[in-house]
């Protein structure tokens, strides 16, 4: 059973993750191209056209739960020293005590409410398409061009940014994807991931690992995957359907992604957009990436020794 939360009252019990509405990415790109004021001669139009041509592949949706995401992380090549944990509350210290700190990333699924949708469109209208690349890029972000890959891409960016990147196994698929992505622009990076056989194999190896049943071609009633990571002293909101990574503000050295300020700038900001307009309570799912606790590490070592 998985944790999910209601914003009316946080549920302190484990239950199924909500189905994930990872929209048909071809439709997203069609909308972006259709509403772009750019002419066919502009670089902006050419970029959108390239993304449109890529947006044909469609996968099965993933559940946002530690079992699935830990399997995906291990398959791609993240060290077993890190793992995902259920987040049972955003405010109760007792309900957060099982998560070793600092938490390095939050991976969230949350419904696209009318208020959040309007906010996203307003923000995107003020943004240019992302042009970042290279070793000085503050975070590595991918434009999503694979339908329903939002969960695996959310997991990916949670692992390859910030301190979590130090736990990537050398010569692993994850290390190769990260290395290949760094010098590429947005379009080439999306194309690289679209064509990555190791990434696709890893996704498909866990896509039936969840507990809820969803039809990837018809289910549209769940939530968006969003990753929050701390990198370079800032909180970054990473989602492949946006125009680029979003800098949500500075964090002190002792503030992680579960700190009160990070939550206010990140997940709680989205929740408040809905509550401020009198929206219904939101059902969302949240997991955190952190180092394995000492107790878990000792238990893992004992099991490994017994197996050996």
Where exactly are the structural domains of the chain?
Answer: 5-307
CA distance 245 to 175: 21
pLDDT of residue 52: 55
pLDDT of residue 1: 42
pLDDT of residue 54: 59
pLDDT of residue 39: 45
pLDDT of residue 45: 53
157 Cβ contact partners less than 8 Å away, ≥ 6 residues apart: 139, 140, 141, 142, 227, 229, 238
Structure confidence by residue, pLDDT tens digits, 185-225: 999 999 999 999 999 999 999 998 765 544 443 344 457 99
Backbone angles phi, psi at 81, to 5 degrees: -70, -20
Structure confidence by residue, pLDDT tens digits, 110-132: 999 999 999 999 999 999 999 99
pLDDT of residue 24: 40
pLDDT under 70 in the chain at which residues? 1-55, 210-222, 294-308
CATH class held by domain 5-307: alpha beta
Question: Are the CB atoms for 155 and 203 separated by under 8 Å?
Answer: no
DSSP string, the chain: --B-EESSS---SB-PPPPB----HHHHHHHHHHH----TTSHHHHHHHHHHHHTT-B-PPPP-SHHHHHHHHHHHTB-TTEEEEE---SS-HHHHTTS-SS--EEEEEE---HHHHHHHHHHHHT-PPP---STT-SS------SBT-HHHHHHHHHHHSGGGGGGBPTTSHHHHHHHHHTT--HHHHHHHHHT-HHHHHHHHHHTT-SSS---TTT--SSBEEEEEEEETTEEEEE-TTSSS-EEEEE--TT--TTSHHHHHHTHHHHHHHHHTTTPPPPEEEEEEEEEPPHHHHHHHHHHHHHH-
pLDDT of residue 280: 81
pLDDT of residue 13: 34
User: Nearest-CA neighbor of 275 among 15, 6, 3?
Assistant: 6
Backbone angles phi, psi at 7, to 5 degrees: -75, -15
Q: Burial code of 288-297, b = ≥16 C-beta within 10 A, e = fewer?
A: bbbbbeeeee
pLDDT of residue 14: 39
User: Does the predicted model carry a pTM greater than 0.85?
Assistant: no
């Amino acid at each position: 059973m998985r944790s999910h939360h209601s914003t009316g009252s946080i549920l302190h019990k484990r239950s199924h993750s909500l189905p994930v509405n990872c929209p048909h990415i071809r439709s997203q790109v069609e909308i972006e191209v259709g509403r772009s004021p750019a002419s066919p001669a502009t670089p902006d139009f050419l970029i959108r056209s390239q993304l449109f041509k890529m947006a044909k592949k469609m996968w099965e949706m993933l559940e946002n739960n530690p079992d699935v995401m830990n399997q995906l992380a291990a398959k791609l090549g993240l060290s077993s020293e890190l793992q995902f944990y259920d987040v049972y509350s955003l405010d109760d210290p007792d309900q957060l005590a099982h998560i070793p700190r600092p938490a390095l990333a939050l991976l969230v699924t949350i419904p696209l409410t009318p208020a959040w949708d309007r906010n996203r469109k307003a923000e995107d209208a003020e943004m240019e398409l992302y042009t970042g690349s290279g070793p000085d890029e503050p975070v590595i972000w991918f434009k999503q061009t694979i339908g329903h890959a939002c969960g695996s891409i959310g997991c990916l960016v949670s692992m390859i940014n910030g301190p979590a990147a130090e736990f990537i196994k050398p010569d692993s698929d994850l290390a190769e994807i990260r290395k290949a992505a760094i010098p590429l622009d947005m379009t080439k990076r999306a194309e690289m991931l679209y064509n990555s056989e190791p990434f696709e194999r890893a996704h498909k190896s866990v896509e039936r690992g969840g507990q809820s049943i969803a039809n990837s071609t018809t289910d549209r009633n769940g939530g968006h995957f969003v990753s929050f990571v701390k990198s370079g002293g800032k909180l970054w909101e990473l989602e492949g359907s946006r125009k680029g990574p979003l800098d949500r503000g500075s964090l002190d050295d002792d503030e992680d992604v579960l700190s009160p300020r990070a939550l206010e700038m990140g997940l709680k900001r989205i929740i408040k957009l809905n509550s401020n307009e009198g929206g219904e309570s939101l059902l969302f799912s949240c997991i955190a990436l952190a180092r394995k606790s000492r107790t878990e590490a000792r238990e893992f070592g004992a099991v490994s020794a017994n197996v050996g």
